[in-house]
Amino acid sequence: MTTNELPVRHERTDARKRKGRGVWIFLRDLVIILVAAILISILIKAFLIRSFYIPSGSMENTLQINDRIIVNELVPDLTPIQHGDVVVFKDPGGWLSPRDQEPQNWFVAGVDWALSVVGLSAPDSNDHLIKRVIGLPGDTVECCNEFGQMSINGVPLKETYLKLPAGVTKASGIDFKVTVPKGSLWVMGDNRYDSADSRYNTNKPGKGFVPIENVVGKAFVISWPMSRWTWLDNYPTVFAGVEEKDNENSKDH
Return d(Cα 138, Cα 156) in angstroms, integer.
17
- Per-position DSSP letters for 2-32, written without gaps between them: -TTHHHHHHHHHHHHHHHHHHHHHHHHHHHH
Collapsed DSSP state (helix, strand, coil) of residue 45: helix
Angle, alpha carbons 112-217-46 (nearest 5°): 50
Catalytic (active site) residue 131: yes
- Calculated CA dihedral for residues 238, 153, 200, 232, nearest 10 degrees: 20
Catalytic (active site) residue 58: yes
| Per annotation, catalytic residue among 121, 125, 131, 195 | 131
| Per annotation, catalytic residue among 51, 58, 151, 184 | 58
Q: Which of 232, 250, 236, 243 is nearest to 88 (CA)?
A: 232
Q: Beta partners for 184?
A: 211
Return d(Cα 163, Cα 190) in angstroms, integer.
6
Active site residues: 58, 131
